[in-house]
Each structure stands twice: as structure tokens, then as C-alpha cells.
Structure 1
Amino acid sequence: MYSETPALPVIEPVVRDDMIAACYEVMRELRPHLTADEFVARVRQQATAGYRLAAAFVNDEVVAVAGFRVCENLAWGRFLYVDDLVTRSDRRSRGYGAALLAWLKQQAVTEGCIQVHLDSGTWRTDAHRFYEREGMRLSSFHFVWDVVGMSAS
């Protein structure tokens, strides 16, 4: 039986608007509330606070996307925070997400970070297994309080 070996992805920072737009369909799988019309503008706006995109390409097709930023705080020092990490659903289990995460880890080293952090929804058990398999560990709980509806008085 013949089994095709997946092509190795090319990982690149995404900097041009046309490249950002090309990432939308993949990012939409993780962030379905975003629309194509607003995606580039939202990425550009977040970039003013240090947000960046990187993508895994196979044959010029986006197969995985990561949104990340380099931050520093008193708790962790300098760290790379992964806001978004998603592989196209029909391309999972081919090593593309692992390759992109490895690229992010190397980016953290290059930028003088001491850790890589990310949050993952409690219901995303497949993602949790992936992160643990890639050497990450569960280190904390993340709590949220919605401000919507509160007055500023």
C-alpha cells in the first residue's frame, strides 16, 4: 500500500496584506467570529501592540497559522505568547502544527525569551494533548471577568 509522505512546510513571517488575507480561511477555524472583511485590519491594529503572524505553507498554500507577540512581565520575564495556533482541519496530523510550534520556540530563543506561553480553551482536549506531546506543560488556570454591560461610573 502506497502512503504519500506529507511535504515539509515552509514557515514564514506574514507581513504583507495579501499574505495576511491568505491566512484568513485557516484562522477562521479557530476564530469563527472574525469576518474576511475585518481580518487584515484587525491584524494590522493588533500589530501596533506587537502582534505578528507566521504561517506554514505547503506548495504556496497556507496549512497552519500562528499569531504571537513577545512580551515581558514581572511573573515570567521576557516570553513569547502564542495568541493563536491552528492547522487546517483537513491537514491535521501531518506535522504542520508541530513544525510551526517548533518555529515559534526558535523565534523565542532568537528574541531572547525565556519561555513560550499560550492559553487553550478547556474544551480543546485534542489541542492539549498536542501541546503536551510537543513538550509544553499545564502551568496555570486563566480566569476571565466580562466587562461588557458594566458602567464606568
Structure 2
Amino acid sequence: MEIDIFIASSNEDINASFPAFKELRPKLTFEDFLPQVRRQEGQSYKILALRHQGVIKSAAGFRFCEFLAWGKILYIDDLSTLQEARGNGFAGSLLNWLIEYSKNSGCNGVHLDTGYNRHAAHRVYLEKGFQFNCHHMALELSQSISLPAK
């Protein structure tokens, strides 16, 4: 099976990766996708795409970050494969590429957040050596909440 893994930088390639991202992020719209990616590029965001039979079947959004806790890391924002293309090892191939890229870029590790219910994704991550080592907490600011006085 011949696959092509590459950094999507042209508008055409970024737009062609939209269906894979839409599987993971259903609220995304095609109209907003390219401008959002271009804004995130200002924060070192890149898209890694996997093309098979002329179609981008899997894609990952990632960036380099530095933290007091971990030093320089490659953070995977998004990793998704088209539903009909799952089970072919495409996500694993992207992870292999990202792990090698992070090593060659002087990173101390590769990090990502994953939803509790994404068991198939967890299997892939665990097979690659990832560990569950923290909880990610989030506060949605669009919700009306009352903050405690203390």
C-alpha cells in the first residue's frame, strides 16, 4: 500500500485535509477551516497529512511548545482518520512520523489530549508507548457560571 505523508502547506492541501478533521471536530465548517488553520500557524501549528489513492485519509495538527514541566515538546492538537479508512494503520503511520520528527527537532517528548470515550484511539497511542499521566481540565467561558468568592 503506497502512502504519502507530508506537511500540508498549500491552501489546496489544507482544504483537502478538512474531511479528516471534520470527523474529529464536527463543529468545524469548511468556510472557517482554512482561516482558522492560518491563524494557528502563527502559533507554530502545522498539518501533517497522509494521502492514499489520491485522497487525504488521515491528518494531524501539531505544534512545538515549551513548558516548565516538560521542556520542549511536540503537542498533537488533532489526529483523525476518515471513518472508511480506519483500521489501515494510517494514524499509527502519522504518529511514527511525528515521533521521529520530534526526536530530530530536539524535543523531550510528544504530548496529546484524548477524549475519555475514544477507546480505539487509546489503543493506538498505547501501542506507540504513550502513557495516561494527567487529566486535562477545561472551563468553557461561554457558559454562565458563578465563581466562588475564594
State the TM-score bracket (shorter-chain normalisation).
Answer: over 0.9
> Alpha-carbon deviation of 1:93?
1.1
Q: Within 2, Cα distance between the matches of 1:8 and 1:150? A: 51
TM-score by length of 1: 0.90
What pairs up with 1:54-73 in 2 under 5 angstroms?
54-73=48-67
Q: SS where residue 12 of structure 2 aligns? A: helix
Q: Within 2, Cα distance between the matches of 1:77 and 1:11? A: 27
Would you say the 8 A contact 1:20–1:40 is kept in 2? yes
Q: SS where residue 29 of structure 1 aligns? A: helix
> Alpha-carbon deviation of 1:8?
3.5
What pairs up with 1:59-138 in 2 under 5 angstroms?
59-138=53-132
What number of residue pairs does the alignment pair up? 145
C-alpha RMSD of the superposition: 1.3
> Alpha-carbon deviation of 1:138?
0.8
Q: Within 1, Cα distance between the matches of 2:138 and 2:116? A: 13
CA deviations 1:9-57 (Å, max 9, x no partner) are 2110000011100000111000110001111011001111111101011
Q: Which runs of 5+ in 2 are unaligned?
A: none
> Alpha-carbon deviation of 1:59?
2.4
> Alpha-carbon deviation of 1:131?
0.8
Q: Within 1, Cα distance between the matches of 2:47 and 2:145? A: 33
Q: Within 1, Cα distance between the matches of 2:140 and 2:55? A: 37
Query: Runs ≥4 in structure 1, deviation > 3 angstroms?
Result: none
- What code does the residue aligned with 2:135 have? F
Would you say the 8 A contact 1:8–1:96 is kept in 2? no
> Alpha-carbon deviation of 1:81?
0.1
Q: Within 2, Cα distance between the matches of 1:150 and 1:24? A: 33
Identity %: 36
TM-score by length of 2: 0.92
- 1:46–1:150 distance in 2 versus 1, CA, 3 Å: farther
Q: Within 1, Cα distance between the matches of 2:83 and 2:128? A: 19
Q: SS where residue 116 of structure 2 aligns? A: coil
1:3 paired residue number: none
